């Protein structure tokens, strides 16, 4: 008898389907402002010069392709944790930390979700809105997904009052997902003062801070973007951090990330390690090799590390300039409407304020592609398409 006839047909992923539709669009003026990957001023993918140099060094070493341990490359994790926490704080925290290499940030989130569901809590709260894949990952991990107020669509600002009130009503022991910087999809982050207001509320309610840090270096700087996580660690929170090297190293297809767990007591680390490694073993068994070698080669080399930081700063500066240019172009074309709220947003993404009907019109009438929630990948803008995008946005609002 047929086993597969009664399967439910699920919809395509709303983000990953955008490049497919974009590629099939024959219009030469089309613009892709959808998937969150950095693009050059020419609209092309960027492979960093520091990455190319690291790959040359790797090839020259004639290394083998043997399996990594389940938890990955220990030297890579050491450098990654220093980047996350800073060298001095990392040294202090090291006895309380477990870390494992993962298949990108998504892999880290899934492994953490399964770890939570089996051992800690089945309740997790996400910001409203959040990255669309967060909900899917955690539901498939076995967690019950709730939400908390985050973005005020009227003022276009972070809703500190709504989030604070929600935290105080969450069941103790729940998991609180937080984005460390460059919030996806809104581009709106709490200030460090607001993070400091949230920290004691989280601790008083006995919640587990669960940070997703996918864009370190794309907001203000490497250190500034990690400041909320470092502050929570200094305040004595037990917490979990998922980290991605996709954006800040441009290693999207290499799937390089890590999962880190900070515990009160060093005696808990072997138990945490056993649980996480068993989860990984039953999932993908061992992490990939090449991308980790690239990151490690760059971070351990003073010369390559300095070059990478300059390249990262250049990417960040171009995004900032494109955001400013978009606001200026919109203001020129629509004098009665205030778009200055876009200037308060950081990182790859901006919430444009466009609704699903308007984004659909942009796709159909103008060949401009973005998710239905109006999230713009600012790096998809350049001097060639900026005026067209601004004119098109005005035409639908």
Span 280-296, pLDDT tens digits: 999 999 999 999 999 99
Query: What is the pLDDT of the chain when averaged over all its residues?
Result: 94
Q: How far is CA 153 from CA 64, 149, 351, 387, in A?
A: 52, 11, 9, 25
Which CATH number is 311's domain given?
3.90.1150.10
291 and 323 part of one domain: no
- Residues 328 and 316 placed together within one structural domain of the fold: yes
Domain C-terminal end among 278, 300, 322: 300
* Overall average pLDDT of the 159-170 stretch: 98
Q: Is residue 131 part of a domain?
A: yes
**Biggest CA-to-CA distance, the chain:** 66
Q: Which of 68-77, 197-206, 240-249, 355-364 has the lowest average pLDDT? A: 355-364
Instruction: Give the CB-side neighbour count of residue 10, counting CA atoms within 13 A.
Output: 6
Contacts of 247 (CB under 8 A, 6+ apart): 36, 37, 38, 214, 215, 217, 218, 348
Q: Are 30 and 95 contained in the same domain?
A: no
Residue 263: predicted pLDDT: 98
Q: What is the CATH number of the domain that holds 231?
A: 3.40.640.10
C-alpha angle with apex 32: 29 to 33, nearest 5 degrees? 125
Selecting among 73, 131, 159, 366, the annotated active-site residue is 131
Is a pLDDT exceeding 70 seen at residue 1?
no
Name the 3-class secondary structure at 212.
strand
In the chain, alpha helices (H): 18-24, 49-60, 74-85, 87-93, 104-119, 132-140, 160-167, 192-204, 222-234, 269-281, 290-300, 302-333, 356-361, 386-396
- Judge if 164 and 283 occupy the same domain: yes
Spatial neighbors of 200 by CB under 8 A, at least 6 apart, are 235
Over residues 193-203, mean pLDDT: 98
121, burial (CB in 10 Å: exposed 0-12, middle 13-18, buried 19+): middle
Rounded average pLDDT over 59-84: 97
Domain contains 9:
no
> Catalytic pick from 53, 247, 296, 366?
247
Percent of residues, the chain, with pLDDT higher than 70:
99
Q: Smallest Cα–Cα separation from 327: which of 267, 390, 253, 381? A: 390
308 catalytic? Reply is no
| Closest to 339 (Cα-Cα) out of 328, 349, 347, 348 | 328
Find the angle CA(298)-CA(300)-CA(304) to the nearest 5 degrees: 40
Banded pLDDT at 335 (limits 50, 70, 90): low
Residue pair 245/101 in contact (Cβ under 8 Å)? The answer is no
Claim to verify: residue 142 and residue 288 sit in the same structural domain: yes
Annotated catalytic, 131?
yes
CB-based burial label for 74 (10 Å; 0-12, 13-18, 19+): exposed
Q: 326 with 291, same domain?
A: no
Query: Taking 80 as the threshold, does the pLDDT of residue 63 lie above it?
Result: yes
Domain boundary among 300, 334, 353: 300
Select which of 73, 105, 189, 212 is catalytic.
Answer: 212
293 and 347 co-located in one domain = no
Mean pLDDT within 133-160: 96
Q: Which domain holds residue 89?
A: 67-300
User: Which of 274, 300, 326 is the last residue before a domain boundary?
Assistant: 300
- Per-residue pLDDT at 188: 96
Residue 2 has pLDDT above 90, yes or no: no
Q: What's the rounded mean pLDDT across residues 117-133?
A: 96
In a domain, 252, yes or no: yes
Q: Does 11 map to a domain?
A: no
pLDDT > 90 in the chain, percent: 85
Number of domains in the chain: 2
Residue 369 in any domain: the answer is yes
Q: Is the pLDDT of residue 386 over 70?
A: yes
Angle of helix 386-396 versus helix 302-333 axis, rounded to 10 = 40
Residue 265: pLDDT band with limits 50, 70, 90: very high
For the segment 254-273, the average pLDDT, to the nearest whole number, is: 97
84 and 189 within one domain: yes
Please report whether residue 61 resides in a domain: no
Residue 97 within any structural domain of the chain: yes
Residue 355 lies in a domain: yes
Same domain? For 311 and 172 the reply is no
The torsion defined by the Cα of 67, 69, 70 and 71, in degrees rounded to 10, comes to -130
pLDDT tens-digit series, residues 15-60: 878 888 888 989 999 999 987 889 998 888 999 999 999 999 999 9
* 31/97 same-domain check: no
Q: How many CA atoms lie within 13 A of 346 on its CB side?
A: 20
Whether residues 257 and 354 share a domain: the answer is: no
Mean pLDDT of the region 305-314: 98
Looking at the fold, whether 212 and 283 belong to one and the same domain comes out as yes
Structure tokens at 172: 């103790």
């Amino acid at each position: 008898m047929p086993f597969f006839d009664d399967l439910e047909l699920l919809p395509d992923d709303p983000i990953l389907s955008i490049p497919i539709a974009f590629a099939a669009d024959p219009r030469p003026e089309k613009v892709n402002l959808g998937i969150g990957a950095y693009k050059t001023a020419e609209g092309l993918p960027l492979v960093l010069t520091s990455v190319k140099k690291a790959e040359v060094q790797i090839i020259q070493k004639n290394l083998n392709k043997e399996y990594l341990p389940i938890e990955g490359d220990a030297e890579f994790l050491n450098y990654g944790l220093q980047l996350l926490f800073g060298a001095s704080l990392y040294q202090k925290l090291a006895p309380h930390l477990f870390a494992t290499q993962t298949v990108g940030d998504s892999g880290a989130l899934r492994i953490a979700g399964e770890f939570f569901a089996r051992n800690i809590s089945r309740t997790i709260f996400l910001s409203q809105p959040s990255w669309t894949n967060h909900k899917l990952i955690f539901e498939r991990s076995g967690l019950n997904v709730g939400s908390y107020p985050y973005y005020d669509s009227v003022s276009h600002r972070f809703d500190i009052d709504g989030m604070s009130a929600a935290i105080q009503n969450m069941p103790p022991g729940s998991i609180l997902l937080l984005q460390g910087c460059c919030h996806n999809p809104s581009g709106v982050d709490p200030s460090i003062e607001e993070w400091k207001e949230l920290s004691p509320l989280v601790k008083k309610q006995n919640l587990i801070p669960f940070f997703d840090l996918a864009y370190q270096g794309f907001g203000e700087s490497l250190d500034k973007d990690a400041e909320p996580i470092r502050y929570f660690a200094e305040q004595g929170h037990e917490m979990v951090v998922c980290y991605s090297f996709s954006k800040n190293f441009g290693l999207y297809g290499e799937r390089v990330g890590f999962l880190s767990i900070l515990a009160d007591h060093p005696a808990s680390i072997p138990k945490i390690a056993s649980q996480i490694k068993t989860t990984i073993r039953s999932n993908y068994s061992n992490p990939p090799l090449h991308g980790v070698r690239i990151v490690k080669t760059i971070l351990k080399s003073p010369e390559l590390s300095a070059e990478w930081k300059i390249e990262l700063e250049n990417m960040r500066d171009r995004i900032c300039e494109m955001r400013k240019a978009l606001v200026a172009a919109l203001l020129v074309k629509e004098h009665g409407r205030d778009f200055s709220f876009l200037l308060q947003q950081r990182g790859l993404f901006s919430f444009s304020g466009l609704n699903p009907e308007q984004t659909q019109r942009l796709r159909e009438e103008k060949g401009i592609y973005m998710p239905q929630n109006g999230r713009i990948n600012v790096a998809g803008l350049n001097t060639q398409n900026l005026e067209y995008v601004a004119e098109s946005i005005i035409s639908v609002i």
